[in-house]
Amino acid sequence: MRKLLLSLLFVLAAINAARAGYYHFISDDKYRAQVHNDFNKKMQLVGKNFFKITQTTPTVAEQEALEFLYAYMPLADVTDYTTDFYLSNVKSAFKAREEMPWGKAVPELLFRHFVLPIRVNNENLDNTRAVLYDELKKRIEGMSMTEAVLELNHWCHEHVTYQPSNARTLAPLACLKTAIGRCGEESTFAVAVLRTMGIPARQVYTPRWAHTDDNHAWVEAWADGKWHFLGACEPEPVLNLGWFNLPASRAMLMHTKAFGNYRGPEEVMLRTSNYTEINLIGNYAPTARIDFMVVDAAGKAVDKAQVEFKIYNYAEYYTAVNKFTDNRGRTFLTAGVGDMMVWASKNGAYGFAKASFGKDKNVTIRLTHNAKTMAKSMVGALDSVNIVPPVESAKLPEVTPQQAQANKARLVKEDSIRHAYEATFYKPTGDGLAEKYYKLARGNWKTIQQFVNNHPDKQERVLALLETLPVKDLHDMPLEILEDHFGAQSNQLSPRVEDEMIIAPYKQAFQVAFNQSLADSMRANPAVLVNWVKRNIRLNPDTKALRIAQTPMGVWRSRLTDTRSRDIFFVSMARSLGIESRKDAITGKVQYKRDGAWVDVDFDNASQQTAPTGVLKLTYQPASLLPADPKYYSHFSLSKIVDGRAQLLNFDEGDGNDNEGTTWANTFKNGYSLDAGTYLLVTGTRLANGGVLVTQRFFNIAPGKTTEVALKMRRPSGQLNVLGNFDSESRFLKDGQEVSILSQTGRGYYTLALLGIGEEPTNHALRDLAKARATLDEWGRPFVLLFPNEADLQRFKKENFGTLPANIILGIDTDGKIRQQVANAMKLANPSQMPVFIVADTFNRVVFCSQGYTIGMGEQLEKVAKMLETGK
């Protein structure tokens, strides 16, 4: 009896200890010891003063969880947020594990790496878990884990919908406040929501599509023993279904960054001190592996060579994955069955080769190029490359018509809830110069209005500060930041240097950071500030560490940073002292202005001076089926070779409206000044099947000289072929009446589009039509845009997509009859995948067809129009 009582007491004590947190968060002794050791190393690097708990003493488990987070978080997260903030989030994560019915079923590995971590992308961190927990818990009460994942995505759609924007990622609560986000923000938001409920979740990226110019992010969630995928804020009736199933089957790579030293079953692409990058392409598409060997000019294996796996996209070879060779000069990659350019470099030497996954088994890259060899010729030979993307091979889960209809009805209701919230945003009255900022600020408009109202006697300075802000900054800019910059003595008003976090005021503190004598000497000669930064700001010796930008105050307090945050800190400090400074948007160079001229900042040299420059002049001969004025990012790009790597020059891409962005004619036709050095010019002609006809050429810019380079684009061969037949007498509903396509278009060619309103592929396609409006209007042929029902037609607002071609005809494809006819004629594997565009004539011949997610739809239709006009 006594033994039984003692056993019961022991069990009760164990239960109470577990509830109190007197258990190990990390059960593996060896792994726990490694985490503790990594935590101590981080504290030695940063300083123990950045790990301070003032609220409450953590339990054993909470302390271990904190050590895990601190051991692997980037410098910015250590220096810019308090330990109490992280402890609060740890407690929230543990609370979800304790209270949610699936909490104990989530494996320790997955909870540690995909529930506990707060950071998802490059967003500002916030209190999403504490703010949303009770509301979300009530929403999914009584549901299974799979049901909860689906329901939480409906909740996300109720609050946030897609809208493109710049690359900075809004924090989850800021995204909630503004009700919109690009795919990276929607997926960050959805991951945060799922983790709040104790559900393992991760953001999945295809860094760039292989068959079209763009990228995409979505979510994988672990439920009932398996990982599933879903479109963030784009709920479907079942998991493993999204508009991107088909394009994902044509992708070359998908990856995610697992926080910390992750030891899961997936293929590891890169392991750093902050994250483990894992390869997920096998979840979506057929794959193949290639083994790579990197050798020097003499054929000797190169250890620790950086190997960049590049996907052609936006007219450049974009680095999707970085890897490093082992001591035998070897590495490998598993990817989709298509083509990549693979670039290897070390100590300024570099080489590259095309790799065809599914065909090549082994590829050797020789580092035969360097600054000396490339300087021998001002303009190198033109090289042509054919890039072939993977073919479509998606398998879709089954969805019954009843499920699809019920889900669509939910989406309409959720749209109405979100629209009701958006109706609380500022409504212009036509009174006041600041009104446009209130409207642009969306859910943050009261903050902007408060700032304006705080300074009725200094409206000129108020408006000048607001004018410096990108639109997205108006969505989440805190009042204290605006007031800090407004109240500072400096007239360098902009708070932003690049896409960094702006969460802590600094300008008024920095203006008195130095004694008067030193500050005056810095203003007189900003090189003094450069030297101060060199002497006083340490660089993180881990050059592979994740470079989330620290706030300037974080750098100031820690005196430890990376090169990116150092650059931001320098510009911020210079502006605080009244020194005009910037990080050049095109080249990324840090500069200050002295005597009316920009001076390049070089932290590695004692003297500061402007780099020698020359002039690049591109020549171009338009031809049929080629653009009259090639566009940067669409048809060509330039990269500077720096230490053996290609660094893209980030010219203005335009906004699709009045600002057309950088083109050959407006920037390079008459010459453009560039720093001296070696450059790579890439051009590409995207084909309808997603393939690309690429040219590439190296050239040099010499100081004080003009280099003339021919911008060569390859013409697609062949003529338009008849792909199938479509009955031009097919009938649709227009203004309540049944009409035939022929009766609306007249004789000749027309474009027919079957649209899925509110879906990202359709949104992209319509925006692309707007970009090509001038040419398509000149063509003069009609565009028949058909929607699946009256509700979707009513949701369609032309003004949301720019100015569409003039000859637009809107209608309803009653019962999906036209969609099914097109699917049968074109042998489409998935008739429900939208949008579908065809170009046909009234003799029932189809000469062009495109389905699903395709960037550049307007440009493709321009080519078709030209071929139909010229007959070739």
pLDDT at position 288, please?
98
Model confidence band, residue 871 (pLDDT cutoffs 50, 70, 90): low
Band of residue 10 on the pLDDT scale cut at 50, 70, 90: very low
CA–CA distance, 496 with 759 (Å, rounded to integer): 32
Cis peptide before 835 (omega within 30 of 0): yes
d(CA 133, CA 749): 56
Query: Alpha-carbon distance 596 to 363, whole Å?
Result: 51
Q: In whole angstroms, give the CA distance from residue 442 to residue 440.
A: 6
Helix (H) or strand (E) holding 3: helix 2-20
Q: Is the pLDDT of residue 20 over 50?
A: no
Q: What per-residue confidence (pLDDT) applies to 872? A: 52
For range 507-520, the mean pLDDT? 97
Name the nearest CA neighbour of 608 among 517, 715, 514, 533.
533
pLDDT of residue 718: 64
- Residue 856 pLDDT level (bands cut at 50, 70, 90): confident
CA distance 83 to 63: 11
724-870 maps to which CATH number? 3.40.30.10
β-pairing verdict for 226-230 and 216-223: antiparallel
What is the per-residue pLDDT for 719? 62
- Asked if the model's pLDDT at residue 605 lies above 90, the reply is no
Length of the chain in terms of residues written:
872
The reply to whether 724-870 shares the fold of 613-710 is no
Using one digit for the tens of pLDDT, what is the confidence trace for 132-190?
999 999 999 999 999 999 999 999 999 999 988 888 999 999 999 999 999 999 999 99
Tokens, residue 84: 């109490």
Q: Which helix (H) or strand (E) holds 193?
A: helix 183-196
And the tokens for 329?
């000069």
User: Could you count the other beta carbons within 10 Å of the beta carbon of residue 409?
Assistant: 11
CA 681 to chain centre: 24
Paired sense of beta strands 724-725 and 706-710, if any: unpaired
**DSSP code, position 813:** -
321 conformational bin, left if phi > 0, alpha if psi -120 to 50, beta if neither: beta
The DSSP code sequence of 520-531 is HHHHH-THHHHH
Residue 236: Cβ within 10 Å count: 21
User: In angstroms, what CA-CA distances link 193 with 81, 131, 173, 319?
Assistant: 21, 11, 10, 30
The CATH classification number of 613-710 equals 2.60.40
DSSP-derived pairing of the beta strands 267-271 and 275-279: antiparallel
Tokens of 523: 């203003």
Chain position carrying tokens 């809107």: 810
Q: At 658, is the pLDDT very low, low, confident or very high (cuts 50, 70, 90)?
A: low
Domain boundaries, the chain: 25-267, 435-600, 613-710, 724-870
Residue percentage of the chain with pLDDT more than 70: 96
Give me the percent of the chain exceeding a pLDDT of 90: 78
- Which tens digits make up the pLDDT trace of 36-93? 999 999 999 999 999 999 978 999 999 999 999 999 999 999 999 999 999 999 999 9
Check if the beta carbon of residue 646 is closer than 8 Å to that of residue 639. Answer: yes
pLDDT digits (tens, 9 = 90+) for 678-700: 999 999 998 878 899 999 999 99
What's the pLDDT tens digit per position in 218-263? 999 999 999 999 999 999 999 999 989 988 999 999 999 999 999 9
pLDDT at 33 over 50: yes
Q: What is the pTM of this model?
A: 0.89
656 pLDDT more than 60: no
